[in-house]
Chain A
């Protein structure tokens, strides 16, 4: 029964993520209007046949802007998590195979980073990298490093004393080969699980930074920025605040659900083995 429920949640997650990906792909082929075109005659136009989700205070088409925004959301999610995860895994693996002082130094620094509340670390990193799309990608990538370093470290420590690793060592495999050929593949399920949840987190973080004016810069469209730009107008024109928020929730929820389901799956497989 649990298995069936789990499958349904995975399907829901995949469906939600597909919706966002589809929106993003369509945006490259077809946009109803130019997302950055300010049409002052049509400002704050309520949803209609011409403007499916209405227009904002500059007369820009909201649907087109949301479609373009999904590009940034997915881009930031995928790129920052991939970069952060790769660097984190390398650092964590080095921490895992290193001995003595090097190991303690690496792990204490990771512990230090983990002690920062999430938003604080993100803000501190943005203060250094600066505003803008790529700077926030960089900040979020650095933000992700400690989590993956910790995960990789604990997985390497777990595997280090397994018999098959000792066997590999005994016939003279180098540490690099052991990591690449034996330990890394065994890490993959856990890493993929973490990856999916992190993308949800990264999208949330990007939208929060953009909302605060620290991420994607105007006139470009980002889901967080759109909500922040329309702030003064939402009281009289509530339609401005609804669609971009819903797309954001769909994207984050989708990746989180897939991550959770994968997590249950990998944990379950481990206990049954």
Chain B
């Protein structure tokens, strides 16, 4: 286990290193002139030269890369060209909204996906399974921004069930703040449900096919008892790790929803960075999100290893 953790940690560090290199390379080496990319062609030569100097563009790329990386690791992510503030501060200011959005949508998606996923595995090829497969297909095919638009028009506009788009800060009341995130969360959740059903269904199907499931019936358990006491326990592992990974991926997966519902989160920051071609802000945001994704994947992997053997050998140990 220790050996596995160390190996996994090392490969995680390698991936992070590669990601930092890709991010740096794609954003500052390929375009040729990151200063020109940021300021546009109508910038004065003096401003360009000043920015080039401050970004260190007059040095060879590998020197720039290492200087950028060392600063980055020390927490100095530079100042956004557009906002003129520190990139790390800008991200931290907006992180709460995106994380709340991600957590709310998972809280909404998990129960629905769990019920449909488990039932569709137990009643394979029955109507509930057909429903589950339809939900999965539609979930993949319906663009999130379209769903958001329709929901906004219908639930917020026509029915007035939800407040107009925009974020209400916590200071103006917890409930109102949560309410302003509710409809966007529902939209994100609907996109997640299809994906989660797929994971839960297949995990449950393989659990039901295990030999121990036959044993439980031989030992005289009813099928409901067998499902609740044994199959669910063994089926829960894969979804738990997947959900963790989804949570991290949502940091970048809410761009469209944040843009439609006017929520000032990390996704919006990312969009501004792309629109304004703010290379420094973009570098920081991309590194932040992928960094979180890689770390969470690492933790999920370790967690998977920790839960898994207990379930596999738990019976023997107790005996």
- Chain A interface (Cβ within 8 Å of chain B)? 1, 108-109, 111-113, 115-120, 123-128, 200, 204, 207-208, 211-214, 224, 227-228, 231, 234-235, 238, 241-242, 245, 248-249, 252-253, 256-257, 260
Q: Which of A117, A124, A208, A238 contacts B145 (CB 8 A)?
A: A208
Is the CB–CB distance between B256 and A212 below 8 Å?
yes
Q: Which of A213, A234, A241 contacts B275 (CB 8 A)?
A: A213
Is the CB–CB distance between B286 and A235 below 8 Å?
no
A273 to chain B, nearest CB (A): 22
In this assembly, does B289 line the interface, its C-beta being within 8 Å of a C-beta of chain A?
Answer: yes
Q: Which of B31, B157, B270 contacts A120 (CB 8 A)?
A: B270
- Chain B interface (Cβ within 8 Å of chain A)? 14-15, 18-19, 21-23, 26-27, 30-31, 37, 125, 137-138, 140-146, 149-150, 152-154, 157-158, 248-249, 251-253, 255-256, 259-260, 270-271, 273-275, 277, 279, 282, 286, 289-290, 293-294, 297
Q: Which of B19, B158, B249 contacts A112 (CB 8 A)?
A: B19
Q: Decide: A112 near B22, CB < 8 A? Known: A207-B143, A253-B141.
A: yes
Most chain A CB within a 10 A radius of its CB, from B125, B282, B290: B290
A149 to chain B, nearest CB (A): 14
Given contacts A117-B249, A124-B26, A241-B153, 17 further A-B contacts (CB under 8 A): A112-B15, A115-B15, A115-B290, A117-B252, A120-B270, A120-B286, A123-B255, A124-B23, A127-B277, A208-B143, A211-B256, A214-B274, A231-B260, A235-B157, A249-B141, A249-B142, A252-B140
User: Residue of B at shortest CB range from A246?
Assistant: B146
12 A-B residue pairings within 8 Å (CB atoms):
A1-B125, A108-B14, A112-B22, A115-B19, A117-B290, A123-B270, A208-B143, A213-B275, A227-B145, A249-B138, A249-B142, A253-B140
A199 to chain B, nearest CB (A): 12
Is the CB–CB distance between B256 and A208 below 8 Å?
yes
B262 to chain A, nearest CB (A): 11
User: Residue of A at shortest CB range from B277?
Assistant: A127
Per the bound structure, the CA–CA distance linking A2 and B249 in Å amounts to: 34
Is the CB–CB distance between B15 and A111 below 8 Å?
yes
Is the CB–CB distance between A123 and B271 below 8 Å?
yes
User: Residue of B at shortest CB range from A213?
Assistant: B275
In the complex, which residues of chain A have a beta carbon less than 8 angstroms from the beta carbon of B141? Answer: 200, 204, 249, 252-253, 256
Is the CB–CB distance between A112 and B286 below 8 Å?
no
User: Residue of B at shortest CB range from A237?
Assistant: B153
B286 to chain A, nearest CB (A): 6
Q: Decide: A253 near B138, CB < 8 A? Known: A112-B18, A208-B145.
A: yes
Is the CB–CB distance between A128 and B150 below 8 Å?
no
In the complex, which residues of chain A have a beta carbon less than 8 angstroms from the beta carbon of B23? Answer: 124
Is the CB–CB distance between B153 and A234 below 8 Å?
yes
B72 to chain A, nearest CB (A): 16
In the complex, which residues of chain B have a beta carbon less than 8 angstroms from the beta carbon of A112? Answer: 15, 18-19, 21-22
B66 to chain A, nearest CB (A): 18
Is the CB–CB distance between B289 and A120 below 8 Å?
yes
In the complex, which residues of chain A have a beta carbon less than 8 angstroms from the beta carbon of B21? Answer: 112
Per the bound structure, the CA–CA distance linking A138 and B256 in Å amounts to: 21
Q: Which of A117, A234, A248 contacts B253 (CB 8 A)?
A: A117
3 nearest A-B residue pairs (beta carbon): A112-B18, A120-B252, A253-B141
A94 to chain B, nearest CB (A): 18
